Amino acid sequence: MDVTLLSTGGTIASTDGDGGKTPSKEGEALIEAVPGLGELASITVERVASVSGFDVTWERAAALRNAAEAAAEASDGIVVTHGTDTMAESAYLLDLTTDLDVPVAFTGAQRPFDEVGTDGPPNLLAAVRTVTHDRVESGTYLVFDDEVHAARDVVKSHTSALSTFRSPERGPVGEFTPAGLRLFREPRSYAAGVPGVGDVGAAIPILTSGLGAGGDALRRVVGDPASSAVDGVVVGGTGLGNTTGALCDAIEEIRAAEVPVVIASRCHEGATAPLYGGAGGGTTLDELGVLWAGDLQPWKARIKLAVALAVGGDGVDEAFFERGLREPGR
């Protein structure tokens, strides 16, 4: 089978340098570090970027999408090596904006290339095994620590643990055991995407509500709502998706200027729901015309809002944004 490895940098490619660990190894070096990897597939390497996961931009994400679409024309599967800090976001963005006929597996490492016990080689091996498996025909995944996660559901849960990636409530699509890949649910895309959408890139800050949170920070970020450079705002609310009364007042002001506001939750599991009334309550926010993130965490809600803005052109496509937030049968 033919597999294309798209390398973007990240911890998996990092060694000492520039005052700390930085990406320095190319994709060929990553392959050489995994004995027998070439026996699974014929692997072609393409360098898309060489940056840490915390510095992935909209432009770099667009370059990755272009590279993946081109690679899909000549490959049976695609593996993306990526920094873990934003890997779940990049995987979700790719899943939302493409409909490739081959599977894509993102992977990386928590321990750098030159560190004893680096987890890069086993993760890369598992990623190649995923995209060459006869049951995995399409979809975008994040493969890490012998688990295969759907791009739509996965989040980074720990700063340094090897088992950092989790899919809250749903669990992984599958896991690798000594007997091979054990599937728990159908391997496919779980994102309600819009293949073919144009450029995705928007100024969308994330603010968080909490004890004593006021509204001035939001006002400063947005500025004059009528001429703001901000395209939308995501608010990490408390519980089911509530804010303080002061923050709600600021949201009301920017909603009056039709700046889209998405309400997500700070909680690690569960979905948003407008239940409570009063200042900052979900039903009050709902009356202001906010969008609800469902069970998407704030940083993934930001990705979906950016795509919804690209789909809608001059305004957010609310129907697209709402699609897939509570898809049945997950």
Query: In what side-by-side order are the strands of the sheet with 2-9?
Result: 42-51, 2-9, 77-81, 104-107, 140-144, 147-150, 174-177, 180-183
Look at residue 88 and tell me if it is in a domain.
Answer: yes
Look at residue 140 and tell me if it is in a domain.
Answer: yes
Question: How many other CB atoms are there within 10 angstroms of residue 157's CB atom?
Answer: 14
Among 74-83, 137-146, 209-218, 314-323, the least confident range = 314-323
Rounded distance between C-alpha atoms, residue 246 and residue 12, angstroms: 44
Domain end (from 134, 152, 183) = 183
pLDDT at 324 over 90: no
Q: Residue 65: which H helix or E strand, with range?
A: helix 58-72
Both 30 and 104 in one domain: the answer is yes
Both 154 and 269 in one domain: the answer is no
Look at residue 191 and tell me if it is in a domain.
Answer: no
The tokens describing 29, both together, are 């070096």
Both 25 and 171 in one domain: the answer is yes
Look at residue 201 and tell me if it is in a domain.
Answer: no
What's the average model confidence in pLDDT over 83-109?
A: 97
The CATH number for 253's domain is: 3.40.50.40
Q: What is the number of domains present in the chain? A: 2
Per-residue confidence (pLDDT) for residue 326, from 0 to 100:
59
Q: Which domain holds residue 226?
A: 206-322
Both 29 and 159 in one domain: the answer is yes
Query: In what side-by-side order are the strands of the sheet with 261-265?
Result: 206-208, 233-237, 261-265, 291-292
Look at residue 199 and tell me if it is in a domain.
Answer: no
| Residues that are catalytic | 11, 84
Q: Which SS3 state, helix, strand or coil, does residue 190 take?
A: coil
At 228, is the pLDDT very low, low, confident or very high (cuts 50, 70, 90)? confident
Q: Spell out the residues 6+ positions from residue 221 whose beta carbon is closer than 8 angstroms to its own.
A: 205, 207, 230, 233
Both 314 and 246 in one domain: the answer is yes
Look at residue 107 and tell me if it is in a domain.
Answer: yes
Q: Spell out the residues 6+ positions from residue 15 whose beta carbon is closer than 8 angstroms to its own.
A: 21, 22, 24, 25, 112, 113, 114
Q: 265-287: per-residue pLDDT in tens?
A: 999 999 999 999 999 999 999 99
At 18, is the pLDDT very low, low, confident or very high (cuts 50, 70, 90)? confident
Rounded distance between C-alpha atoms, residue 86 and residue 157, angstroms: 12
Both 214 and 151 in one domain: the answer is no
Per-residue confidence (pLDDT) for residue 196, from 0 to 100:
86
Both 168 and 273 in one domain: the answer is no
Both 131 and 250 in one domain: the answer is no
Bridge partners, residue 4, by sequence: 44, 78
Q: 33-47: per-residue pLDDT in tens?
A: 999 998 999 999 999
The CATH number for 65's domain is: 3.40.50.1170
Question: Amino acid identity of 290?
Answer: V
Among 132-141, 148-157, 220-229, the least confident range = 220-229
Most confident residue range from 200-209, 221-230, 310-319: 200-209
Among 49-63, 82-96, 197-211, 313-327, the least confident range = 313-327
Both 6 and 85 in one domain: the answer is yes
